[in-house]
Chain A
Amino acid sequence: VTVVFYISALVAVLATVMVVTRSNAVHALLYLIVSLLSVAMVFYALGAPFVAALEIIIYAGAIMVLFVFVVMMLNVTASQARERLWLAPRGWIGPAVLAAVLAGELFYTLVGGEFSTPPTAMIAPQQVGATLFGPYVLGVELASLLLLAALVGAFHLGRQEPTATQGRSHHDNGAC
């Protein structure tokens, strides 16, 4: 287990260094996804399988898809040459190597049988759920309010103002 932990930690630190030093946003996003996946592996090595699954589903799935959508919307004038540039191996070879290390870890834990019996120090998802809806039920309600506020705020900010009068259209976008 400790070997899995250290390899995942190394991959996480390397991928995070690459995130903050890239100049291309798409390359940085690829490295950020690899970093989140390796942090999920760290969670599993720490004995938190439920949180590891949530990290992959919500962070690396939902939030990163949001980022990718915004990156695609920010430069909508992508030409064929830029697409070909993105498919060059310089862009994806680094994240692919780091992800291959994580996949190797996965095969090691599946075939090697080290995780075939769960670690004794593991905290079960049932325990997490009972605590979440037991003493922390007020926090769950507050989180729902926070998500509702974020939904309304994001909708208001991202709305396209209907430009009724062309002359005043710049002032109509006053919410920006």
Chain B
Amino acid sequence: MTTAPVEHGLLLAAMLFGLGLLGVLVRRNLLFLLMSVEIMLNAAGLAFVAAGSRWQQPDGQVMFLFILTMAAAEVAVGLALILCLHRCGKTIDADAASKMRG
């Protein structure tokens, strides 16, 4: 029994990354921006796991664990920033954040 081909795993990772990038470029809601960044990080981890599965090394999964840690930290800080911005400016539009001064 063999696993799925690694090229298709990498293709899926590229498609998910492209969709996440599209979300970052198109959406202006900060919550959706953060979700799209999560999709992109997840796609990068998928590429690592697919490559690790291709060469039968556990290093890819270790890298995925590090990406998971980084995503958790980024979401915690990002959501705190969104709450802070919402509390001050009553908006979570990304363009409204460009009017900050000081």
- Using CB atoms and an 8 Å cutoff, list the residues of chain A in contact with chain B: 1-2, 5-6, 9, 12-13, 16-17, 19-20, 25, 28-29, 32, 35-36, 39, 42-43, 45-48, 50-51, 54-55, 58-59, 62-63, 66-67, 70-71, 73-74, 114, 117, 119-123, 127-128, 130-132, 136, 139, 143, 146-147, 149-151, 153-155, 157-158, 173-176
Contact = CB atoms under 8 A, between A and B. Distances in A.
28 contacts: A2-B4, A2-B5, A16-B16, A20-B19, A20-B20, A20-B27, A20-B32, A32-B39, A39-B46, A42-B9, A45-B4, A46-B53, A51-B45, A55-B68, A58-B72, A67-B31, A67-B35, A114-B1, A119-B1, A121-B2, A121-B53, A127-B58, A130-B58, A131-B62, A151-B76, A157-B81, A157-B84, A176-B84
Contacts of B72: 58, 62-63, 147, 150
Q: Which range contains the number of B residues in contact with the other chain?
A: 35 or more
A121 B3 CA distance: 7
